[in-house]
Amino acid sequence: MSDDAFPGDGYITDSMVAEVLSKHPKSLPRWDKSPRLKELGWPDPVYINGRRHRYRPALRAFLRNAALAHVGNPFKA
């Protein structure tokens, strides 16, 4: 993943988010229900023309928080 996986501002579709994170698109709705990911700043979806989108700056903040949480956990490999 590049230094900035979600360059620019604005919104990105869930399918593009899943592709960048190397996850299946159906994982993202499950992530919406996870309290642990919400604590890390996982952004809520915004519906535009019936499609789910995420705010790019919020995704960048989530990735930063997730990386810090991972580094701060001595039990993770």
Torsion of CA 70, 3, 64, 27, to 10 degrees: -80
* pLDDT tier for residue 73 given thresholds of 50, 70 and 90: confident
* 42 within some domain: yes
First and final C-alpha spacing in the chain: 19
* 77 within some domain: no
Domain that holds residue 26: 11-68
pLDDT value for 53: 96
* 4 within some domain: no
Total number of domains in the chain: 1
Model confidence at 2: pLDDT above 50: no
* 63 within some domain: yes
pLDDT in tens, 25-69: 999 999 999 999 999 999 999 999 999 999 999 999 999 999 998
* 74 within some domain: no
* 18 within some domain: yes
* 1 within some domain: no
pLDDT value for 1: 44
**CB-based contacts of 37, cutoff 8 Å, min separation 6:** 31, 62
Nearest-angstrom CA–CA distance, 43 and 10? 13
The pair of three-digit structure tokens given for residue 10, joined into one six-digit string: 């604005």
